[in-house]
Amino acid sequence: MELKIYCDGGARGNPGPAAGAFVVLADNKEIAAEGKSFRVATNNEAEYGAVIMAMTWLLKNNAASVVFYLDSELVVKQLNGVYKIKSKKLLPLAAKIKKLERDFSGKIKFENVRRGKNKRADQLVNQTLDKPRVT
């Protein structure tokens, strides 16, 4: 079974209160979705956090192959090795994703999509950010 996973992350302020979300589709039907608050983070850190959340979910569920769709061209190109990761904060997040990727027995691809194609994940990020924060 091939899955499509849409990921998004965002911060109100950059850095600021942040959240990440992912949506999993199988045969174009939503089978899982989750949003999670992060403390203070940048948009890119939140985007990486969303991929980590989705990869963690993926390791608990079966799939032969997965295509991750992100609207952050920077993060996609970094995860695909096209761009070097220079940020000291992003390096450990990317390393965690690569470790999770090695633990997955199927095939994984990362692709960039326009923001309009990532509406559901974006909606979950905003819903999560709108929730009252517990300190």
The pLDDT assigned to 29 comes to 97
pLDDT band of residue 135 (cuts 50, 70, 90) is low
User: 121 is written with which tokens?
Assistant: 């994940």
pTM, 2 dp:
0.95
- Phi and psi, residue 125, nearest 5°: -60, -50
Domains of the chain are 2-129 (3.30.420.10)
Say which amino acid occupies 25.
L
Q: What does the pLDDT look like over 45-92, one tens digit per residue?
A: 999 999 999 999 999 998 899 999 999 999 999 999 999 999 999 999
- pLDDT higher than 60, residue 16: yes
Q: How far is CA 117 from CA 74, 81, 120, 121, in A?
A: 17, 23, 8, 9
